[in-house]
């Protein structure tokens, strides 16, 4: 949220960077969901996503003083998340603990609905197909899709987060869309 043209987090970030634990807790509470969801979509593993989330916030707390005032805290934090998650996945693959990218996430929440069982079934089938399609992407394409469509970062922000040009982001995003469309068609959607 913005107030007077400035990000409200600026004051909280400033306090946290000076050692205010309550301010950092506020930053953690307002950003943990975003980081967890990113890690979950990149690993397809809830335990790994929890571990990654905790490690990212520990890293952020230790390095908060390095954040330049002109940087957005959320973009800076997401850059840490992207880099840490890549390193985490490389480490796990080297150790032979390869995550099954085809493993389906069981994320469908139990809730009551007025929708018919048929429409709920079709909605759940589509969710499963999208999750499967996302998991079939190469990690750098999945990363772009998650950052752009799920996390809502702009092309420019993503370029900064993953340290590539805006053209590279656009190219990867286009290619990822094509791959997801192809996979959804293959699955009958």
Dump pLDDT digits (tens) for 42-86. Answer: 888 899 999 999 999 999 999 998 887 655 899 999 999 999 999
CA 103 to chain centre: 18
Whether 188 shows a pLDDT value over 60: the answer reads yes
Whether 92 shows a pLDDT value over 90: the answer reads no
Average pLDDT, the chain: 81
Cα atoms found within 13 Å of the Cα of residue 137, Cβ hemisphere only: 29
Which residue, among 139, 154, 145, has the nearest Cα to 178 in the 3D structure? Answer: 145
- Token pair of 56, please? 């990212």
CA distance 171 to 155: 11
Q: Quote the pLDDT of residue 24.
A: 93
């Amino acid at each position: 949220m913005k107030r007077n043209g400035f990000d409200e987090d600026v004051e909280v970030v400033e306090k946290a960077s000076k050692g205010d634990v309550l301010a950092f807790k506020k930053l953690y509470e307002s950003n943990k969901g975003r980081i967890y969801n990113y890690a979950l979509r990149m690993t397809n593993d809830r335990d790994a996503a929890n571990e990654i989330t905790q490690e990212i916030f520990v890293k952020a707390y230790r390095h908060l003083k390095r954040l330049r005032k002109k940087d957005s805290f959320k973009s800076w934090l997401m850059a840490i998340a992207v880099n840490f998650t890549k390193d985490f996945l490389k480490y796990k693959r080297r150790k032979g603990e390869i995550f099954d990218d085809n493993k389906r996430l069981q994320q469908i929440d139990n809730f009551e609905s007025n929708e018919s069982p048929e429409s709920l079934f079709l909605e759940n089938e589509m969710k499963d197909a999208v999750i499967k399609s996302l998991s079939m992407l190469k990690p750098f394409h999945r990363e772009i899709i998650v950052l752009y469509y799920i996390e809502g970062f702009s092309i420019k922000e993503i370029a900064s987060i993953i340290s590539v040009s805006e053209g590279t982001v656009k190219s990867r995003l286009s290619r990822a869309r094509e791959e997801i469309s192809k996979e959804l068609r293959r699955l009958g959607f």
